[in-house]
């Protein structure tokens, strides 16, 4: 719907205009100058204006670290890059997609030779060149545009002098580090196959380049013509006597490379041999201590300090780590007697270890920012003072990421609180993980998991988690899983609240799948399955409308959609006697849904019910008549375009809906599995917006959930690549004109093309 405002007799169109201001480089990060600790928030969620996008990234899991001579460590994480000044422990800057980075989750990073810039590589082949002083970000797509080889992922980046070496899935691309034009490419190493992917690359202090591939290890002087296969000396894995290496480090004293269970080293004049003293624990990185013959090897739960080839010190730690670096102040440990080691954690940011000359630990400090534990959230729910997120129902088969899948709570007062196996002993002891449903009340946040039941976290008056977690699973409650599989494995595929504040859940495919729970109580009450329902109809999803009717998404045991059941549980939910229910499906006489697989249901401000499916959307104009009416009252209407231009008159007929929400103007935001984000008008006859990763800052076209904050107009968008906020103009109307604001003020026809009014009472008419 378009609105007009009359200003001095002239009509000015108020339309929804796309803004990308927060996706461009800004003058300063909101975290710059703050302490590098858990209280410092990296993102400003309070200063959005209509049309703005804000990406919320996790900066906890370290991918790469680079230490500049100025005692600034730059940390690449799965959500972006930030810098910390080590002397004072202050944040220097933060770069995410909000600041122009190409994407979340960089694969590699290097400092330019003068320390004035960063080179950041990504798995799709893109390179970001970041000028640190000006905060300008330039993206290079030379590798992305290459069509010769399918694997364009960037594995390693190194800068030496005026050359930047980029190791990819097909070889090495060499850039001029001043002009950022491609100089040459190394696509073949000796007699090995053309386009061989590089697992890891490093450059030795003498300037020689070392690469690990599936065929073996190759090296060449950086001064040689790298594009000539004959420039490369090679060792096959048979010659080395090892499986292919996952990483390689080129040190002054030699080469160190590792598999998941062994470490091998190369010494000049001697050759390759297994570093048996390193043991069989998986290793991730190694550094030399300047001025000594000591090396530090980073392994899964420890750091080993070696004097020569022998273990001098075993330094255990509890979390998992990916990288280690020495601070630039540790330039000559033999003379200074002090060693500062930086450990890049997969769960806690950067840990700074300070040792004396005998490796006695003097101090340990953690440097991290206040951000979510992970990027993508499967489910988002608004709380009274922020929002709650559940992470994912999918196993990564990864010790770190799977155990992070608990809950993330954001409070406008205290910021982010991550509750998972790494931060909560109750979850750790019960191996609670894979949460993918969420709901919140005034006093509690709930998440439902894939196999671990429900977790309840108490919230204080400000909406901040108190740390008290209660688990409801097959051992601690009446909830049960699918009997044909394992009734002890409780998959919570639906989680909602009703108008009385009562919690309702669906345990996927269980014989008594529906259950309810009064806020704060110790157990759940199981509800009998509706009588007369087909044995093929198993409960999966759940939505509760304003009448407290339960809309239960149905599937067969083979996961084929069976429509949606509308259920009134009556005055006594535990009794079938007062139940009323009807099943709507794709049959023209039983619902007329666009598809039998229902994925989302919402109720709009007019009381209409909108049903999203794997193939389009339908709506019920008078849902009150569903349980008492006939075929006509149970026939859903497909969305029909007011001005059809294609072969079909139906609007969004073939989209795979994943979530829907209603904004303050009764318009509907529609999320899809692979086609981005849509906004349709209140009646469902016209498309107002269509955001994709190609035409907007949207991180991914695969959207998992939506949540709308009617007080602020913030639309929370959970994509497969991260969570974003879009500031929608259509926030909730006020009840009176106490807080009306109009901007820009003063308005100039020469400089402004829109005027924004906020705080208008509901149903206002602007003339």
- Nearest Cα to Cα of residue 614 among 664, 663, 658: 658
Q: How confident is the model at residue 583 (pLDDT cuts 50, 70, 90)?
A: very high
**SS3 at position 624:** helix
How far, in Å, CA of 378 to CA of 720, rounded? 8
Look at residue 620 and tell me whether its pLDDT is greater than 70: yes
CA 664 to mean position of chain CA atoms: 27
| Whether 287 contacts 321, CB under 8 Å | no
Look at residue 21 and tell me whether its pLDDT is greater than 60: no
Residue ranges of E strands in 452-576: 454-459, 465-472, 490-497, 503-507, 514-517, 525-526, 538-544, 550-555, 561-568
> How high is the pLDDT of residue 662?
97
Q: How far apart are the first and last CA of the chain?
A: 15
Tokens coding 426:
């109750």
How far, in Å, CA of 175 to CA of 178, rounded? 9
**SS3 at position 461:** coil
Residues in the chain: 767
Look at residue 745 and tell me whether its pLDDT is greater than 90: no
Q: What number of other Cβ atoms are within 10 A of residue 317's Cβ?
A: 18
**Domain assignment present for 574:** yes
What percentage of the chain has pLDDT greater than the value 90? 72
| Whether 24 contacts 96, CB under 8 Å | no
> How high is the pLDDT of residue 466?
86
| Whether 266 contacts 248, CB under 8 Å | no
Burial label, 28 (beta-carbon count in 10 A; 0-12, 13-18, 19+): exposed
Q: How confident is the model at residue 5 (pLDDT cuts 50, 70, 90)?
A: very low
Average pLDDT over residues 654-670: 96
Look at residue 618 and tell me whether its pLDDT is greater than 70: yes
Q: How confident is the model at residue 345 (pLDDT cuts 50, 70, 90)?
A: very high
How far, in Å, CA of 313 to CA of 323, rounded? 18
Q: How confident is the model at residue 4 (pLDDT cuts 50, 70, 90)?
A: very low
How far, in Å, CA of 106 to CA of 155, rounded? 10
Q: Which of 193-197, 606-610, 627-631 has the lowest mean pLDDT?
A: 627-631
Q: Give 671-725 as a DSSP string.
A: EESSS-EEEE-TTSS-EEEEE-TTTSS-S-S-EEEEEEETTTTEEEEEETTEEEE
How far, in Å, CA of 724 to CA of 314, rounded? 42
Residues 126-173: pLDDT tens digits? 999 999 999 999 999 999 999 999 999 999 999 999 999 999 999 999
Tell me the pLDDT of the chain averaged across its residues. 89
How far, in Å, CA of 276 to CA of 263, rounded? 7
> How high is the pLDDT of residue 14?
30
- Nearest Cα to Cα of residue 308 among 275, 281, 354: 275
Q: How confident is the model at residue 386 (pLDDT cuts 50, 70, 90)?
A: confident
How far, in Å, CA of 641 to CA of 335, rounded? 77
CA dihedral 85, 89, 95, 96 (to 10 degrees): 160
Look at residue 96 and tell me whether its pLDDT is greater than 80: yes
| Domain encompassing residue 634 | 528-638
How far, in Å, CA of 487 to CA of 508, rounded? 10
**Domain assignment present for 132:** no
Average pLDDT over residues 561-580: 92
More confident residue, 16 or 110: 110
> How high is the pLDDT of residue 741?
64
Residues 217-237: pLDDT tens digits? 999 999 999 999 999 999 999
What percentage of the chain has pLDDT greater than the value 70? 90
How far, in Å, CA of 201 to CA of 512, rounded? 56
**Domain assignment present for 672:** no
Look at residue 51 and tell me whether its pLDDT is greater than 80: yes
**Domain assignment present for 539:** yes
**SS3 at position 306:** strand
| Whether 146 contacts 169, CB under 8 Å | no
Q: How confident is the model at residue 384 (pLDDT cuts 50, 70, 90)?
A: confident
How far, in Å, CA of 474 to CA of 472, rounded? 7
CA dihedral 508, 511, 513, 514 (to 10 degrees): 160
Q: How many domains are contained in the chain? A: 1
**Domain assignment present for 688:** no
**SS3 at position 484:** coil
Look at residue 26 and tell me whether its pLDDT is greater than 60: no
The sign of the dihedral angle between the CA atoms of 647, 673, 582, 551 is negative
Look at residue 763 and tell me whether its pLDDT is greater than 60: no
Look at residue 6 and tell me whether its pLDDT is greater than 50: no
Q: How confident is the model at residue 42 (pLDDT cuts 50, 70, 90)?
A: confident
How far, in Å, CA of 593 to CA of 586, rounded? 4
List 202's β-bridge partners, or say none: 210
**Domain assignment present for 605:** yes
Tokens coding 297:
């090897």
> How high is the pLDDT of residue 3?
33
Burial label, 546 (beta-carbon count in 10 A; 0-12, 13-18, 19+): exposed
Q: Which of 45-54, 359-368, 471-480, 655-664 has the lowest mean pLDDT?
A: 45-54
Q: How far, CA to CA in Å, does 536 sit from each of 378, 485, 566, 660?
A: 27, 16, 16, 27
> How high is the pLDDT of residue 752?
66
**SS3 at position 130:** strand
Average pLDDT over residues 18-32: 52
Residues 246-278: pLDDT tens digits? 999 999 989 999 999 999 999 999 999 999 999
Average pLDDT over residues 349-375: 92
> How high is the pLDDT of residue 731?
62
Average pLDDT over residues 681-690: 96
Q: Give 47-92 as a DSSP string.
A: ---TT-EEEE----SEEEEEE-TTSEEEEEETTEEEEEETTTTEEE
> How high is the pLDDT of residue 27?
61
Please give the order of strands across the beta sheet that includes 72-77: 62-67, 72-77, 80-85, 90-95
Average pLDDT over residues 507-530: 93
Instruction: Report DSSP state, residue 373.
Output: S
Burial label, 642 (beta-carbon count in 10 A; 0-12, 13-18, 19+): exposed
**Domain assignment present for 587:** yes
List 395's β-bridge partners, or say none: none
Tokens coding 663:
């904004």
Q: How confident is the model at residue 24 (pLDDT cuts 50, 70, 90)?
A: very low
CA 129 to mean position of chain CA atoms: 23
> How high is the pLDDT of residue 733?
55
**Domain assignment present for 472:** no
């Amino acid at each position: 719907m378009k609105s007009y405002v009359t200003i001095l007799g002239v009509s000015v169109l108020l339309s929804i205009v796309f803004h990308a201001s927060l996706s461009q480089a800004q003058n300063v990060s909101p975290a710059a100058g703050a302490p590098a600790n858990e209280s410092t928030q990296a993102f400003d969620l309070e200063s959005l204006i209509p049309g703005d996008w804000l990406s919320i990234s996790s900066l906890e899991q370290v991918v790469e670290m680079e230490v500049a001579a100025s005692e600034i460590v730059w940390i690449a994480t799965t959500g972006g890059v930030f810098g910390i000044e080590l002397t004072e422990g202050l944040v220097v800057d933060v770069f995410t997609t909000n600041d122009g980075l190409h994407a979340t989750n960089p694969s590699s990073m290097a400092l330019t030779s003068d320390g004035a810039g960063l080179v950041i590589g990504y798995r799709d082949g893109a390179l970001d060149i970041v000028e640190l002083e000006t905060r300008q970000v330039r993206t290079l797509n030379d590798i992305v545009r290459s069509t010769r080889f399918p694997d364009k992922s960037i594995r390693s980046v190194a800068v030496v002098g005026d050359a930047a070496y980029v190791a990819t899935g097909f070889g090495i691309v060499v850039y001029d580090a001043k002009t950022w034009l491609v100089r040459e490419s190394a696509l073949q190493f000796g007699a090995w196959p053309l386009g061989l992917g590089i697992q890891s690359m490093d450059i030795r202090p003498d300037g020689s380049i070392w690469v690990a591939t599936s065929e073996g290890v190759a090296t060449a002087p950086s001064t040689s013509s790298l594009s000539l296969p004959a420039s490369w000396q090679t060792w096959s894995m048979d010659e080395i006597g090892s499986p292919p290496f996952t990483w390689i480090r080129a040190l002054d004293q030699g080469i160190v490379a590792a598999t998941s269970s062994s470490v091998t080293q190369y010494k000049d004049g001697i050759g390759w041999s297994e570093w048996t003293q390193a043991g069989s624990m998986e290793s991730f990185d190694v550094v030399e201590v300047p001025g000594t013959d000591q090396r530090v090897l980073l392994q899964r739960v420890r750091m080993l300090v070696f004097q020569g080839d022998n273990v001098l010190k075993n330094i255990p730690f509890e979390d998992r780590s990916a990288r280690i670096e020495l601070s630039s102040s540790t330039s000559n440990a033999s003379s200074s007697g002090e060693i500062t080691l930086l450990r890049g954690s997969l769960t806690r940011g950067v840990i700074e270890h300070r040792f004396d000359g005998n490796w006695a630990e003097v101090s340990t400090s953690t440097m991290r920012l206040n951000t979510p534990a992970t990027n993508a959230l499967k489910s988002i729910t608004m709380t009274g003072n922020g929002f709650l997120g559940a992470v994912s129902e999918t196993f990564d088969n990864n010790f770190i990421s799977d155990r992070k899948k608990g809950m993330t709570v954001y409070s406008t007062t205290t910021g982010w609180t991550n509750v998972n196996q790494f931060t909560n002993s109750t979850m750790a002891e019960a191996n609670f993980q894979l949460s993918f449903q969420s709901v919140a009340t005034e006093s509690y946040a709930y998440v439902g998991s894939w196999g671990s039941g429900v977790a309840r976290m108490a919230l204080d008056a400000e909406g901040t988690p108190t740390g008290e977690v209660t688990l409801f699973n097959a051992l601690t409650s009446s909830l049960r899983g699918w009997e044909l599989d394992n009734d002890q494995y409780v998959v919570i595929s639906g989680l909602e609240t009703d108008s009385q504040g009562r919690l309702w859940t669906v345990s996927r495919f269980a014989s008594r799948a529906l259950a309810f729970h009064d806020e704060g109580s110790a157990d759940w009450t199981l509800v009998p399955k509706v009588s007369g329902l087909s044995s093929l109809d198993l409960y999966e999803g759940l939505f509760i409308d304003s009448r407290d009717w339960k809309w239960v998404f149905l599937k067969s045991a083979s996961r084929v959609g069976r429509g949606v059941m509308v259920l009134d549980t009556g005055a006594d939910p535990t009794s079938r006697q007062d139940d009323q229910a009807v099943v709507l499906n794709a049959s023209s006489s039983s619902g007329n849904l666009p598809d039998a697989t229902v994925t989302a249901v919402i109720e709009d401000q007019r009381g209409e019910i909108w049903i999203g499916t794997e193939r389009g959307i339908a709506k019920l104009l008078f849902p009150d008549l569903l349980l008492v009416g006939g075929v006509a009252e149970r026939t859903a209407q497909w969305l029909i375009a007011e001005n059809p231009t294609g072969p079909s008159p139906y609007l969004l007929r073939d989209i795979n809906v994943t979530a829907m929400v209603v904004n303050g103007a009764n318009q509907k935001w529609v999320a899809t599995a692979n086609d981005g984000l849509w906004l349709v008008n209140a009646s469902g006859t016209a498309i107002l917006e269509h955001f994709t990763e190609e035409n907007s800052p949207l991180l991914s076209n695969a959207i998992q959930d939506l949540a709308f904050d009617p007080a602020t107009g913030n639309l929370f968008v959970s994509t497969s690549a991260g969570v974003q906020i879009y500031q929608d103009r259509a926030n909730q109307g006020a009840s009176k004109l106490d807080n009306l604001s109009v901007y820009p003020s003063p308005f100039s026809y020469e400089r402004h093309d829109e005027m924004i009014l906020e705080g208008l009472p509901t149903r206002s008419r602007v003339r």
